[in-house]
Amino acid sequence: HVLLAEQLEQLAGVEILLAPTGGPAATLELQDVIDTWEKIKPRIVIPMHFRTARCTFPRYGADDIVSLRPEARQAGSCELSFFKGYLPASTQVLILDPAR
C-alpha cells in the first residue's frame, strides 16, 4: 500500500532503501514505489522483487525501472558493500544482478 504521511516520517533519515518494484499484487505499482522513494530521499535505492529470466511472475523488470529512472544503473554484482561516510550525496538507484 502507499505509505501514509506518518509512515513516511518514520522513514526519514533512511540512507539505504530496499524497494519492492515487481508490481501488484505482491507490491505497489512501479511508479507508486518510485514516488515513495522520492519522498523518503535515501542515498541508495536497491530495487527488489522485479522480473528476471528465472523469476517471471513479477510484472516489472529492471528495464522498466530504467525506463522510469534513466539514471538507475546495473550494479554488476549480486552483492554490494557500503560504508557510512562514503554514500552519495544524492539518491542513486542500483540494480543488483540476480543471485545465482
Could you report the per-residue pLDDT of 16-55, keeping only the tens digit for each? 999 999 887 667 899 999 999 999 999 999 999 999 999 8
Q: Is the pLDDT of residue 76 over 80?
A: yes
Question: Which pLDDT score is estimated for 1?
Answer: 76
Residue pair 49/26 in contact by the 8 Å Cβ criterion: yes
- Tell me how far apart the alpha carbons of residues 41 and 51 are, in angstroms, rounded to a whole number: 24
Whether the upstream peptide bond of residue 25 has omega within 30° of 0, thus cis, is yes
Going by pLDDT thresholds of 50, 70 and 90, the confidence category of residue 99 is: confident
> CB–CB of 1/25 below 8 Å?
no
